[in-house]
Amino acid sequence: MKERECMRMARIKISGRGAVYHCMSRVVGGQRLLGALEKEKLREMLWQQAAFSGVEIITYCLMANHIHLLVRIGGENGASDAQLVERALKFYGKKSLYVQTLVKALEKQGALPEDLREGLRERMGDVSVFMKELKQRFSKWYNRQQNRYGTLWAERFKSVLVEDQPSAVQAVAAYVDLNGVRAGLVKDPKEYRWCGYAEAVGGKGLARKGLGSIYGWGDWERVGREYRQVLLVTSGSAGSSGKVVLDAEEIRRELKRKGDLKLGQVLRLRVRYFSDGVVLGSRNYVNEVFREFRDRFGVRRRDGARPMRGVGALGELATMRDLQVNVVG
């Protein structure tokens, strides 16, 4: 698929089963409007919105002019009426008239009226609704704080569907958590307080659970050790836990001769496959998604999987979009 063709394509969302998405959104005009106070508030709202929407945060990174979220969306929403009311109570608070209506209906009838139940369920387990509500809530708060009005976010958010298997999710998670390192703000991602890894190192249970879900482990010591090696890999093998080495000249030479970069080098560069690849995973997975959404593509296209040029360190991962311009830089 050519880049121009793909840019007109509607977002690929999986229905009826779980899926992982790397979601990105930029501040309008690329302005650096998110300072420490704003990022703290946005992080608070992120966890609140995720709890209400039934979305699992694998990891995230909040920058001054854009955000990255790696989230897992569940399949069908099987939450009971009591669970729906509990989520709404935690989200809105007991003083909310809306919540009071839900509580009274549940206490009086033992169940929610169909319209109230469906109204809640339609807002859960959907990546588009999750991102829309999170951004809208934060925009309202930000505009009140700054005595401004109008949009805060540029256009719609971008998303890449990521196969829910360790190598794919691990690579994207590390890419997200290394944003502060790539921007030159810190040397170690644990020092950038507005990312999932730093919050996990700081002891937040949900952040640890999110990263642990990559491996299927509940033991944070084991998860943290394994994931940190991915974050700090620099030469094809795990580096020491406290040292990061990056040879900028070596990377430039490799890019110039169009060679394959090592994993640690790839993750410390801007890689468009992670933000514009549409679908990322094994060749089989990308081709399965292609067949499911066959009507979105031109009649001449026979399959979906495209190789990820210049990033051989990512192994057998493939992408849906055949990127050719400024792929790695």
- Do 104 and 179 lie in one domain? The reply is no
DSSP state of 14: -
The predicted model scores a pTM of 0.88
Domain containing residue 108: 81-123
- Do 72 and 86 lie in one domain? The reply is no
Count of structural domains, the chain: 2
Average pLDDT over residues 284-297: 91
- Do 110 and 254 lie in one domain? The reply is no
Question: Any idea what the CATH number is for the domain that residue 17 is in?
Answer: 3.30.70.1290
Considering only CA atoms, which of 135, 164, 160, 140 is closest in space to residue 150?
140
Q: Read off the pLDDT of residues 18-62 as tens digits, 9 standing for 90 and up.
A: 899 999 999 999 999 999 999 999 999 999 999 999 999 999 999
Give the integer Cα–Cα distance in Å for 31 and 18.
34
- Do 314 and 246 lie in one domain? The reply is yes
- Do 93 and 234 lie in one domain? The reply is no
Considering only CA atoms, which of 174, 152, 289, 179 is closest in space to residue 232?
174
- Do 16 and 103 lie in one domain? The reply is no
- Do 12 and 92 lie in one domain? The reply is no
Average pLDDT over residues 179-190: 92
Confidence tier at 1 by pLDDT (50, 70, 90): very low
In three-state secondary structure terms, 199 is helix
- Do 116 and 142 lie in one domain? The reply is no
- Do 189 and 96 lie in one domain? The reply is no
In three-state secondary structure terms, 68 is strand
- Do 91 and 229 lie in one domain? The reply is no
Q: Is the pLDDT of residue 269 over 90?
A: no
Give the integer Cα–Cα distance in Å for 312 and 319.
13
